[in-house]
């Protein structure tokens, strides 16, 4: 038996592949375009492992996806592939439309054709699991209840709008054609192999490099943080037992304002890697211009996943963030490797104008 994952060289997909193969002998075919966010170094531990086949390619390349499906006959597709960074979507939305909307559409089309020719139990058991985000639901005010699965869609950034469109296509392919889909909408992930353009890894990496820690606006925007390995276990559970056509929200029950996250990272670094001059890392925090259209608060109500499928996150924020900081301290080579020329260009474009101290 085999599953096809897309985007499996990115942050969540690679954690998913590593965890899957640590617990199962079912093989994985991993289709990834290797954009700036895809990194084969992350999958180095799977080199030579016959259970992992890497294919470099685009989910929007219908001929390629068709041939991968024909060759490997997966029993399921888990679609992680996406452009995923809100700030990049504000600067250049085009790639988000191409991959998140057109790419998902092409993948669905090819999956539908493949599935429609399957027979019997193989056809019955086939699944298309689409990995999406809580950002499709828009922004909450302070007192509002957390997002449930039936919350209206109100995406505010080009990223979340493109993910919302992909969710609608996935839904329509079930409703219209009967494709056996599952959708998960997840809150902010953190953990090992997270690209240092996102809040938590950027703060760790900048702090260690003696650079400033750029907090957007007042730093009081709230996100609901989920340790990536908990997200992976939720996806495995939904794939195994989720009801076809259903949506499951995945969250960590960890709502925190950004500024608190940054202070927590600084305090852990003070403890685990104190600065030679004895000064606290929090002195590196700087306030920078806010993100345009910045969503104020996300919060996930993951109780459907718990009551239907018995899933709960294993990590608290305290245990997960400690593991994460330790992982970055132990893996400077991985960090150096992903900080390529393209990464440096992005950082200077995103922060230099607003923060002259940013290196
Ligand atoms: P990521 O940006 O780290 O990785 C995305 C991967 O997809 C990369 O390896 C990239 O090379 C690949 N990719 C991009 N375009 C492709 C294409 N056209 N064809 C094939 N591969 C392509 O993203 P991530 O953080 O791992 O997110 C994975 C999924 O989870 C995304 O769909 C994202 O929307 C969703 N999600 C992420 C978070 C989060 O906090 N990171 C939260 C909720 C949902
Ligand atoms: P991010 O990790 O980009 O995830 P998302 O925008 O998908 O939630 O950002 C998390 C929060 O941190 C968000 O409110 C924006 C904020 N942020 C900063 O304050 N400074 C930064 O340098 C970055 C990258 C994010």
Q: What's the pLDDT at 358?
A: 36
Residues of the chain with pLDDT under 50: 353-359
Residues in the chain: 359
Does the beta carbon of 199 sit less than 6 angstroms from any atom of ligand 2?
yes
**Residue ID of nearest Cα to ligand 2 atom 9:** 199
Q: How many Cα neighbours within 13 Å face the side chain of 112?
A: 17
Task: Among 37, 185, 198, say which to mutate for ligand 2: greatest number of ligand atoms within 8 Å of CB.
Answer: 198
**What's the sign of the alpha-carbon dihedral 230, 231, 236, 237?**
positive
Does the beta carbon of 162 sit less than 6 angstroms from any atom of ligand 1?
no
Nearest ligand, measured from the Cα of 185: 1
Nearest ligand, measured from the Cα of 221: 2
Q: What's the pLDDT at 352?
A: 57
209 closest CA partner among 314, 347, 324: 347
Ligand 1 centre distance from Cα of residue 277 (Å): 39
Q: What's the pLDDT at 348?
A: 78
Q: What's the pLDDT at 298?
A: 98
Ligand 2 centre distance from Cα of residue 47 (Å): 33
What are the chain's domains?
A: 2-191+226-253+297-316 (3.40.50.720)
List, in order, residues 6 or more apart from 92 with CB less than 8 Å away: none
Nearest ligand, measured from the Cα of 88: 2
The number of helix segments (H) and strand segments (E) in the chain equals 14, 12
How far apart, in Å, are the Cα atoms of 227 and each of 46, 95, 252?
22, 27, 7
Ligand 1 centre distance from Cα of residue 35 (Å): 10
Please identify every residue annotated as catalytic.
134-135, 159
* Distance between CA atoms of residues 103 and 81, nearest Å: 9
Q: What's the pLDDT at 359?
A: 33
Nearest atom in ligand 2 to 291's CA: 15
Ligand 2 centre distance from Cα of residue 29 (Å): 31
Does the beta carbon of 104 sit less than 6 angstroms from any atom of ligand 2?
no
Ligand 2 centre distance from Cα of residue 351 (Å): 13
**Residue ID of nearest Cα to ligand 2 atom 4:** 198
215 closest CA partner among 287, 303, 317, 312: 287
**Residue ID of nearest Cα to ligand 2 atom 25:** 199
124 closest CA partner among 115, 132, 136: 115
Q: What's the pLDDT at 104?
A: 99
Q: What's the pLDDT at 354?
A: 44
How far apart, in Å, are the Cα atoms of 256 and each of 165, 261, 334?
28, 7, 27
């Amino acid at each position: 038996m085999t599953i096809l994952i897309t985007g499996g060289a990115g942050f969540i997909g690679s954690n998913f592949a590593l965890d899957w193969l640590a617990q199962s002998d079912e093989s994985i075919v991993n289709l990834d375009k290797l954009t700036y966010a895809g990194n084969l170094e992350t999958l180095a531990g799977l080199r030579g492992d016959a259970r992992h086949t890497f294919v470099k390619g685009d989910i929007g390349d219908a001929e390629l996806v068709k041939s991968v499906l024909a060759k490997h006959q997966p029993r399921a597709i888990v679609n992680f592939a996406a452009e995923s960074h809100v700030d990049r979507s504000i600067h250049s939305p085009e790639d988000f439309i191409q991959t998140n909307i057109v790419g998902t559409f092409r993948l669905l089309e090819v999956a539908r054709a493949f599935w429609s020719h399957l027979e019997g139990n193989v056809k019955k058991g086939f699944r298309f699991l689409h990995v999406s985000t809580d950002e499709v639901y828009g922004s909450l005010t302070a007192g509002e209840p957390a997002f449930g699965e039936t919350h209206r869609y109100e995406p505010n950034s080009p990223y979340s709008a493109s993910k919302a469109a992909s969710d609608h296509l996935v839904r329509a392919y079930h409703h219209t054609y009967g494709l056996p889909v599952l959708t998960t909408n997840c809150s902010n992930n953190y953990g090992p192999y997270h690209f240092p353009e996102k809040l938590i890894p950027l703060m760790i990496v900048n702090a260690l490099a003696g650079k400033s820690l750029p907090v957007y606006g007042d730093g009081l925007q709230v996100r609901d943080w989920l340790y990536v390995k908990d997200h992976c276990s939720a996806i495995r559970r939904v794939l195994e037992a989720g009801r076809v056509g259903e949506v499951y929200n995945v969250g960590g029950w960890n709502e925190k304002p950004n500024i608190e996250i940054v202070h927590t990272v600084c305090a852990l670094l003070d403890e685990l890697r104190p600065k030679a001059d004895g000064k606290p890392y929090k002195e590196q925090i700087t306030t920078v211009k806010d993100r345009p259209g910045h969503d104020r608060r996300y919060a996930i109500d993951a109780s459907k996943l718990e009551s239907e499928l018995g899933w709960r996150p294993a990590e608290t924020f305290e245990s997960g963030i400690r593991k994460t900081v330790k992982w970055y301290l132990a893996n400077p080579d991985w960090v150096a490797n992903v900080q390529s020329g393209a990464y440096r260009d992005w950082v200077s474009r995103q922060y230099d104008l607003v923060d002259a101290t940013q290196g």
